[in-house]
Amino acid sequence: MKIHPLSDVQSENIGSGTVVWQYSVILPGAVIGSNCNINAHCFIENEVRIGNNVTVKCGVFIWDGITVEDNVHIGPNVTFTNDIFPRSKHDFELARTILKKGASIGANATIIAGHTIGEYALIGAGSVVTKDIPNNTLWAGNPARQKSFVCDCGHKLDEALHCSHCDADYRIVNERIVRK
C-alpha cells in the first residue's frame, strides 16, 4: 500500500497494493480493496465500497451509496450523483449506484444515481447514463443509448456476437448475453 503524503486518507480499510495519489481525500467509512489505483484529486465518501484491482483516474468524486466491484475502470472526471431530487439543506433519500465487475466508464461521463452498470459494460466518454446498463453492452451519448455489444476484452462484437480481437463468442440466452 502506498499513500502519498499529500493525500488525506482517513479510512483504515484499504487493501494491500493499493496506491492513493496527491490531493485525494478518503473518508473513514470507505472500504477499498487490494491493488487499486486512486489517482490525484479524488474524493471518496463514507458509504462507499470499492473492490480489488479498480482504477479511479483523476478528478473523480465517489459519493455515499456507490458500490464499485472488482476490475472496474473509472475514467478521469467521471461524475456520479446520489440524490434524484436535490435541494440544498434538505434530507434526501440515498439513490444507490452499482458498477459491476469489469465495467469501464469513459472520461467525463455522468452516471445518474439509482442505476446499475452491468458486468463488462462500456460507457463512452461524455455519456449521460439515465438507465440500467446490461452486461457486455456499449452505450454512448446524452442520454446514453446502446450502440453495440462489447466483449469482456473491451472490443466491440460483430453481428454474429464474435470478437475479432480475442476470438471469443457470445450468444443471447433469455435476453441476456452470455459467453460461449
Taking the complex as a whole, the smallest distance from the CB of residue 140 to Zn ion amounts, in Å, to 19
Q: Is 156 in the site for Zn ion (CB under 5 A)?
A: no
Region near Zn ion per CB under 5 A, out of 53-61, 123-131, 134-142, 151-159: 151-159
Tell me which of 166, 171, 172, 176 binds Zn ion, using CB under 5 A: 166
Q: Is 151 in the site for Zn ion (CB under 5 A)?
A: yes
The residue (of 91 and 160) whose beta carbon lies closer to Zn ion is 160
Region near Zn ion per CB under 5 A, out of 1-9, 46-54, 100-108, 154-162: 154-162
Q: Is 169 in the site for Zn ion (CB under 5 A)?
A: no
Question: What is the total residue count of the chain?
Answer: 180
Which residues bind to Zn ion, rule: CB under 5 A?
Answer: 151, 153, 155, 163, 165-166, 168
